[in-house]
Amino acid sequence: MNYYSVSKLNHDIIHSFLPQMPQVDLIVGIPRDGILVAVLVSNYRNIPFTDLDAFCEGKVYRPGAKHRNKQIYDAEIKNILVVDDICATGRAMREAKGQMGGLGHDARIYYSTVYAFEGKDKLGIGRQPGLLDFYGVELIRPCHYEWTQCDAVRLPQTIFDIDGILCPDCSKENDDDGERYERFLTESPLKLRPENVGAFITWRDEKYRGLTEAWLRKHGIKYHELIMARRSEWRNAIEFKADYYSRSKYTLFIESSSRQAKEIARLTDKPVIGRDSNEIFGGKLGL
């Protein structure tokens, strides 16, 4: 498994994408993930940005107060770069080209992504235009992206931890196996809200299933399975989680504790992401 973190995305923009980028007057990000790239490129090159839909409506985002008098925001737009994070099938890029082409804009338009599968096949040959004018880094399958972690295609094949991932960990003072703990289960604030998750697995005792399910419903979190512990049958959370993961169909585990993630990966020989250090164990980190 190759893990592409937001930190790695930023690194690859700076070291692989920007050195190939032509001089342009405007960055246009393809929603949603291409906007993240557009913002970073805009900041690093000090040029305006907008998103594709806004551009089609004639809108370019104005900067904060300290930048509003810069001449770049009043300059004529002669060269535009349309960007996305990833080019896999190329569908999003083809749709973007269709939208841009329909505007009849006089500017020279470049199309690119930070990452691409079979990237060389998406470039033009000779005078024949390709889907992309350039790209940053060739992607290697299988892979998982931190910035799409809550809506990734692979989520039905993924297991998530709950405490520390969806909500904060329970503090020691509230972990009393009584009223304080029940209040924590009911009132915990939401951190992440992934969609269509294969399974949630938690060291919470099975007797708290009702409160856990109610909290998930309250926040509109959809999933297929909720695996809870019968603590009296297990020595610790690591063995419980590793046993289920090793026997399951799931191909990725996202665990809040990197210490636990490393051990679960060792016991299962399957990839586990430890979110507190943002590392992947038991799989190859995309470099």
pLDDT at 84: 97
Domain region containing 214: 155-281
What pLDDT shows up at residue 75? 63
- From 146, 177, 203, the end of a domain falls on 146
**Residue 165 belongs to some domain of the structure:** yes
27-65 pLDDT, tens digit each: 999 999 999 999 999 999 999 999 999 998 888 876 654
Last residue of a domain, one of 125, 146, 167: 146
Among 101, 117, 146, where does a domain finish? Answer: 146
Same-domain pairing of 20 and 123: yes
Q: Into how many domains does the chain fold?
A: 2
Which residues in the chain land under pLDDT 70?
62-75, 126-128, 283-287
Backbone angles phi, psi at 272, to 5 degrees: -135, 130
Distances (CA, A) of 232 to 3, 204, 224, 225, 274: 35, 12, 25, 21, 26
Q: Do 11 and 142 fall into the same domain?
A: yes
Question: Considering the domain boundaries, does residue 90 fall inside one?
Answer: yes
Predicted local distance difference test score (pLDDT) of residue 76: 79
Residues 163 and 141 in one domain: no
Write down the H helix ranges in the chain: 6-12, 33-45, 52-56, 91-101, 179-187, 209-218, 237-247, 258-268
Same domain, 18 and 89: yes
Does 287 reside within a domain?
no
Q: 241-285: per-residue pLDDT in tens?
A: 999 999 999 999 999 999 999 999 999 999 999 999 999 998 544
Tokens coding 123: 């470039």
Burial degree of 148 (CB within 10 A; 0-12, 13-18, 19+): middle
- Which pLDDT belongs to residue 287? 32
C-alpha distances out from residue 40 to 6, 89, 187, Å: 11, 24, 36
In a shared domain, residues 198 and 271: yes
| CA-atom Rg of the chain in angstroms | 23
Q: Are residues 273 and 193 in the same domain?
A: yes
Asked, for residue 286, whether it belongs to a domain, the answer is no
Q: Give the pLDDT of residue 68.
A: 47
Cis previous bond, 266, omega within 30: no
Locate tokens 């799989």: which residue?
283
Answer yes or no: do 191 and 240 share one domain: yes
Regarding whether 164 and 133 lie in a shared domain, the answer is no
223: domain CATH number?
3.40.50
